[in-house]
Structure 1
Amino acid sequence: MDPLDLDGHALHLLLAVHEEGSVTRAAQRLGLTQSAVSHALDKLRALTGDALFVRSGRGIVATAQADALVPRARALIDELRAFSHAAGFDPARWEGTITVAANDLQRDLLVPPLLARLQSQCPGVRLRVWPSQAPRPELLRDQGCDLVVTPRPPEAADLVQKRLFQDRYAVFFDPAVRRAPKTRAAYLGAQHISVRYEDGRSIDIDGWLAGRGVQREVVATVPGYAGIAALLRGSERLATGPALLARGVLREFASAPVPVATPAMPMYMVWHLRRQHDPAHRWLREAVEAIAGEALA
Structure 2
Amino acid sequence: MDPYKIDFFALRVLSMVFELKSFSAAADALGVNQSVVSYAVNRMRDVFDDPLFLRQAGGIVPTDRCIAEIGEVDAMLQRFETMITPQDLDPDKITKNFRVSCNYFERIWIMAPVIKELRKSAPKSQLTIMHSGTQGASHLVQGAADLLIGPMRPEEDGYYCRSLLKDSYVCVMDPSNPLASRRLTLERYIGAQHVAVAYGDGWTSDYLDQLPTESRNELTPVVTVPSPGDIQTIVQGSDLIATLPRKFAMTLLPDLTMAEFPLPSSLEIGLVWSARTHGSVTQKWFRDLVVSAVKSL
Give the TM-score normalised by structure 2. Answer: 0.84
Distance 1:69 1:233 in 2: 48
Residue 123 of structure 1 and its aligned partner are, at CA, apart by 1.1
Q: Show the counterpart of 1:90.
A: 90
Matched, 1:288 2:290: yes
CA distance, structure 1, for counterparts of residue 41 and residue 225 of structure 2:
42
Shift of 1:105: 1.8
List aligned pairs for 1:140-179, cutoff 5 A. 140-175=140-175, 179=180
Mark the CA change 1:181 to 1:6 in structure 2 (over 3 Å): closer, same or farther: farther
SS in 1 for 2:110: helix
Query: Unpaired runs of 5+ in structure 1?
Result: none
One-letter identity of the residue aligned with 1:75: A
Percent of pairs with identical residues: 25
In the alignment, what sits opposite 1:27? 25
Q: In structure 2, how many angstroms separate the alpha carbons of the residues matched to 1:127 and 1:251? A: 32
One-letter amino acid of the structure 1 residue matched with residue 25 of structure 2: A
Cα deviation, residue 159, structure 1: 0.5
Q: How does 1:104-115 map to 2 (within 5 A)?
A: 104-115=104-115
Amino acid at match of 2:112: P
Moved more, 217-226 or 59-68: 59-68
**Displacement of 1:206 after TM fit?**
2.9
Task: Give per-residue Cα distances to partners, 1:261-285, cap 9 Å, x unaligned.
Answer: 2431112111112323322111111
Counterpart secondary structure, 1:72: helix
Of the structure 1 ranges 46-55 and 122-131, higher mean CA displacement relative to structure 2 is found in 46-55
CA contact (8 A) 1:14 1:41 kept: no
Contact in 1 for aligned 2:151/2:270 (Cα 8 Å):
yes
Structure 2 residues without counterparts, runs of 5 or longer: none
CA pair 185-64 structure 1, distance change in 2 beyond 3 A: closer
1:44 to 12, 30, 41: 41
Deviation, structure 1 residue 163: 1.2
3-state DSSP of counterpart to 2:171 = strand
TM-score between both structures, scaled by the size of structure 1: 0.84
Q: Using the alignment, how far apart are the partners of 1:29 and 1:166 within structure 2?
A: 42
CA distance in 2, matches of 1:242, 1:17: 38
Query: Aligned-pair distance for 1:93?
Result: 0.6
Q: Does 1:272 align with 2:269?
A: no
Counterpart CA distance in 2 for 1:250 and 1:102 is 24
Q: What is the alpha-carbon distance in structure 1 between the residues aligned to residue 166 and residue 287 of structure 2? A: 17
Is the 1:209–1:262 Cα contact (8 Å) retained in structure 2?
A: no
* Distance in 2 between residues matched to 1:80 and 1:292, nearest whole Å: 30
Structure 1 residues 131 and 144: CA distance shift in structure 2, 3 A: same
Shift of 1:222: 1.0
CA RMSD of aligned residues (A): 3.0
Count of paired positions: 290
Partner of 1:222: 225
Residues 234 and 106 (structure 1), Cα distance of their counterparts in 2 relative to 1, 3 Å cut: same
CA drift of 1:4 comes to 5.1
CA deviations 1:141-171 (Å, max 9, x no partner) are: 2233111111121122211111122101000
